[in-house]
Amino acid sequence: MVSKLSDTERSTHLPKLEQQGWKLVQGRDALTKTYTFSDFNAAWGFMSRIALKADKVDHHPEWFNVYNRVEITWSTHECQGLSERDLGMVAFCEEIAPQKN
């Protein structure tokens, strides 16, 4: 069973994520960030890499793409909020994103 992040886990991880540009979604226990790329091809490549990883770990994002922009949101439906699964996928996003984001 997947459980929500504890208060200690939240206070440990969320400040660093906010410094990286992640924001809490208003009215939900979820994290979101918008990435901007050089063009559609770069944005699509980013999404493709996330899709492959998400499928492997069975944890899929909510996202929206227009040309060079990708808005991505992570939350765990099984626990109705943020979990370790989300932290892992957020870390993966940061790992593969261009350094300027």
| Model confidence, pTM | 0.93
- Do the strands 31-36 and 69-74 form a parallel or antiparallel pair, or are they unpaired? antiparallel
DSSP letter assigned to residue 80: T
Tell me, yes or no, whether 1 lies in a domain: no
Q: How far is residue 88's CA from residue 101's CA, in Å, rounded to a whole number? A: 18
Where in the sequence is the domain holding 55, given as residue range(s)?
7-96
Q: Is the pLDDT of residue 101 over 60?
A: no
Instruction: Compute φ and ψ for 75, nearest 5 degrees.
Output: -165, 150
Tell me, yes or no, whether 87 lies in a domain: yes
Tell me, yes or no, whether 2 lies in a domain: no
Give the model confidence (pLDDT) of 11-47 as tens digits: 999 999 999 999 999 999 999 999 999 999 999 999 9
Give the model confidence (pLDDT) of 67-82 as tens digits: 999 999 999 999 999 9
Report the interhelical angle of 40-57 vs 84-96 (nearest 10°).
150
Tell me, yes or no, whether 28 lies in a domain: yes
For residue 68, the domain's CATH number is 3.30.1360.20
Number of domains in the chain: 1
